[in-house]
Structure 1
């Protein structure tokens, strides 16, 4: 890890109480999952605009510094070093993908910069190698073990007993969710009838899907991003695979192939169909501004920004150490629910299970921790 091959830098010094407070937004605006980046950027920028319309924070305007981190380790590291060393930011919203957020977190922790990832669900984002919590690193989303538990319980609640798991071994997010699902599934008495890996470069999944069909698994658990789900789902339909596809929040995208994935279920952080006033107001404002219904990426980036700016306000200071302490102790009602943080800087809140049906994604049920 980066922290092991470079000396820890001194924590960032508090800026003078003049000029704007800079907040970096690191998101994949290009690369394999650009819709994730656009939603994340737009959600964060809308939150910043709302705060600036009310006078900013600590009487200072908030300035967004947006960088394309591509959901990939090297570009993410370059973006993090750029915003910290050149732009002198003390706060980072991002990244989206765990494989990018983890190396960013090593840099931010060493340099005393507060990072809050909207959507990176791998536990290692906020934890050091020894299992202790990184002081400056937080997330606005639930973690993979909880997603795995939610989907395992949901599937078994529908009476399913057999599952086939396929996952990208090289993707921290995908592997972590697959492991969490398998653990929860088997502990609750379910049977894993097959497990296969692939790489992010693969486009032909026929060999694996032949094994899925042969296994007669009731559930095909595919916890990957929408671009891979689209390929697998289309090929599964072509091959007559009857397993019910299930996955995690990586499915959430306007570019998800709703026809191919029809009948599938996935865990997510919120539903725009939620009738809470905070959700209704957010969906209306976002839809008016951007002409689209906000997905979970947008909602969580918006939430992450509100959590961060509220912590700065509560700290009464632009000192990242004091802001990190305030963030750890925060309790705040946001779009994705009422949030407080556990000792590992993971939010304590509920998850939503959604279904792809008849060309749209609909809310099924909410599952609390």
Structure 2
């Protein structure tokens, strides 16, 4: 059976429940191959297939930078693995599907991957909401390794969902600790979705546990254009630090408008806003918690060099985490685990002590050791500051 290879256009979608959904999914170009038995040998003879579920576009058809970079990191990993003949003559391929970052679309994407008998495991999803909705389809069928999905709710999704990014329940503690050293009166702007709600809730709880107060806490949508009412109220309350639990585009609007209304507050956020570094000097001084940084380790620096050579640009967290997710699953395949349940069982033992465990996985974005929920234990989360188009680590200059 032929499968979709990296960079190749996927096949038409499987039949769906009604004509409207069928048309929507066909427009996305979701690949699906139904009716194939998933062979114990895995992947259909000379190929080993991983699903890659990422948002290549948003729901309006515009390119999604988080998904595009994830695809680039994943494809680099596949190219490197095949170049060194990692699988004893078999070739690793990716079946690329576009979930648009949309939870409903993610359900159909997951269905299509589960029904494709050649797919052994899934890399994805990128967004928390998509991961949460897709998880019910993967449970008992396909192991999935989410890349940058950080919602704490993912820890409760079942035995077949893993992730290479640390949960916001852990990240928020580091962010809150850093925020306390940056400002006295702290406000929170949060995206009203799974990622924003979880990060904001845990950040606020960590602040309060440390005896700090939250001066304001306001939700927004990704397409919110006017943050001025929130920002003017923050100015009146003497807010000197604004924490953004959301993505880079709305964060950029909020920062621009804060400057317009004269709110002299510093901004800080999680990994969702790291893209501000490439958006101009007005964002200099913004503090960002990142899941990957080129200076984290020797392997990180080496990865950056390979990524630059391939794509003529620097990788971000999305690229690094997708790269690690592919290589993690490839390790299972290299060790001879060629069916979904065997891969799931192997993942559950990564970094565990005892005879049934596998060694911790050393990725370019840090070490992966899974706990009983499929979350990485003690995963490094680093605070940096945007300056001159890059994110600098304060400790790098010491």
Please say whether Structure 1 and Structure 2 have the same fold, judged by a TM-score greater than 0.5. Answer: yes
1:327 correspondence with 2:347: yes
Quote how far apart the aligned CAs of 1:39 are: 0.8
1:27 correspondence with 2:54: yes
1:338-353 alignment, distance < 5 Å:
338-348=367-377, 349-353=379-383
Q: Structure 2: state its 5+ residue gaps.
A: 1-36, 351-359
Match of 2:143 among 103, 114, 120: 114
1:72 correspondence with 2:102: yes
* Distance (Å, rounded) in 2 between the aligned partners of 1:143 and 1:167: 17
Specify the alignment match of 1:153 in structure 2.
Answer: 177
Question: Is 2:278–2:389's contact at 8 Å kept on the other side of the alignment?
Answer: no
1:190-229 alignment, distance < 5 Å:
190-229=212-251
Specify the alignment match of 1:277 in structure 2.
Answer: 298
Match of 1:138 among 149, 153, 162: 162
SS in 2 for 1:260: helix
Which moves more between the two structures, 43-52 or 354-363?
354-363
SS in 2 for 1:222: strand
Distance 1:191 1:153, change over 3 A: same
Specify the alignment match of 1:4 in structure 2.
Answer: none
1:213-292 alignment, distance < 5 Å:
213-253=235-275, 257-274=279-296, 276-292=297-313
Match of 1:294 among 307, 310, 315: 315
Question: Is 1:94–1:116's contact at 8 Å kept on the other side of the alignment?
Answer: yes
SS in 1 for 2:394: strand
Match of 1:50 among 75, 80, 83: 80
Quote how far apart the aligned CAs of 1:59 are: 4.3
SS in 2 for 1:221: strand
Quote how far apart the aligned CAs of 1:13 are: 4.5
Specify the alignment match of 2:324 in structure 1.
Answer: 303
Quote how far apart the aligned CAs of 1:35 are: 0.8
SS in 1 for 2:125: coil
1:87-98 alignment, distance < 5 Å:
88-98=118-128
Question: Is 2:50–2:122's contact at 8 Å kept on the other side of the alignment?
Answer: yes
* Distance (Å, rounded) in 1 between the aligned partners of 2:104 and 2:46: 31
Question: Is 1:227–1:256's contact at 8 Å kept on the other side of the alignment?
Answer: no
SS in 1 for 2:101: coil
Give 4+ residue runs of structure 1 displaced > 6 Å after superposition. Answer: none
Specify the alignment match of 1:82 in structure 2.
Answer: 112
Quote how far apart the aligned CAs of 1:277 are: 2.2
Q: How well do the aligned residues superpose, as a CA RMSD in angstroms?
A: 1.9
1:336 correspondence with 2:357: no
Quote how far apart the aligned CAs of 1:265 are: 0.7
Quote how far apart the aligned CAs of 1:336 are: 1.2
TM-score by length of 2: 0.82
* Distance (Å, rounded) in 2 between the aligned partners of 1:236 and 1:210: 8
Deviation string for 1:20-78 (max 9, x for gaps)? 11111111111177110111001011111111112243642111111111111122222
Deviation string for 1:175-223 (max 9, x for gaps)? 1000010000110011111111122231111111111111212210111
Match of 2:190 among 167, 177, 191: 167
Aligned positions, number: 345
Deviation string for 1:331-358 (max 9, x for gaps)? 1111111221111111122111111123
